[in-house]
């Protein structure tokens, strides 16, 4: 991991704390671009000992032993412009979205309910977007 990338994560974490992230909010997933998600899943599972957490079309995640953070294996696609590939989980996404709005946080996608989950997205001052999913 480069020093610049590490610094960006630290700065983002500081900004998010200032934005009023609740202490019970947890880091859920990080996206990793792969050429072939089946081969990548096999590597992470067989070679590194990661657990295959989910296995759906375009949503394969693996979890390192002892961790609750999942790695989303994204087949041959970069996240959309601004999308960091990071997601958080919290109980009460609607309440958190309202809290963020009151504090002036830019909401890039309001609370949306899908068959696979409920979420919203927000951006930091530099346009980096993050997902927040209902736990």
- pLDDT band of residue 21 (cuts 50, 70, 90) is low
Contact 6, 47 (CB under 8 A): no
Q: For residue 7, what pLDDT is reported?
A: 38
Distance from C-alpha of 3 to C-alpha of 58, rounded to nearest angstrom: 30
What are the tens digits of pLDDT across the range 83-134?
A: 787 888 889 999 999 988 998 899 999 999 999 899 999 888 778 788 999 9
- pLDDT band of residue 10 (cuts 50, 70, 90) is very low
Contact 74, 30 (CB under 8 A): no
Q: Which residue has the higher pLDDT, 24 or 49?
A: 49
pTM to 2 decimals?
A: 0.63
Residue ranges of the domains in the chain? 3-35+76-134
Angstrom CA distances, 13 to 17, 27, 55, stand at: 6, 11, 29
Phi then psi for residue 52, to 5 deg, are: -80, 115
pLDDT-wise least confident of 15-24, 30-39, 41-50:
15-24
Distance from C-alpha of 61 to C-alpha of 55, rounded to nearest angstrom: 7
Domain 3-35+76-134 has CATH 3.30.720.110: yes
Distance from C-alpha of 113 to C-alpha of 4, rounded to nearest angstrom: 35
């Amino acid at each position: 991991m480069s020093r610049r990338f590490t610094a960006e994560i630290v700065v983002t974490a500081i900004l998010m704390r200032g934005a009023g992230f609740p202490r019970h909010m947890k880091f859920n997933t990080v996206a990793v671009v792969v050429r072939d998600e089946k081969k990548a899943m096999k590597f992470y599972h067989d070679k590194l000992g990661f657990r295959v957490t989910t296995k759906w079309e375009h949503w394969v995640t693996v979890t390192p032993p002892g961790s609750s953070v999942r790695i989303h294996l994204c087949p041959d696609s970069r996240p959309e412009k601004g999308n960091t590939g990071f997601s958080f989980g919290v109980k009460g996404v609607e309440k958190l979205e309202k809290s963020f709005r009151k504090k002036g946080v830019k909401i890039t996608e309001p609370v949306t309910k899908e068959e696979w989950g409920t979420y919203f997205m927000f951006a930091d001052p530099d346009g980096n977007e993050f997902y927040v999913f209902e736990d």
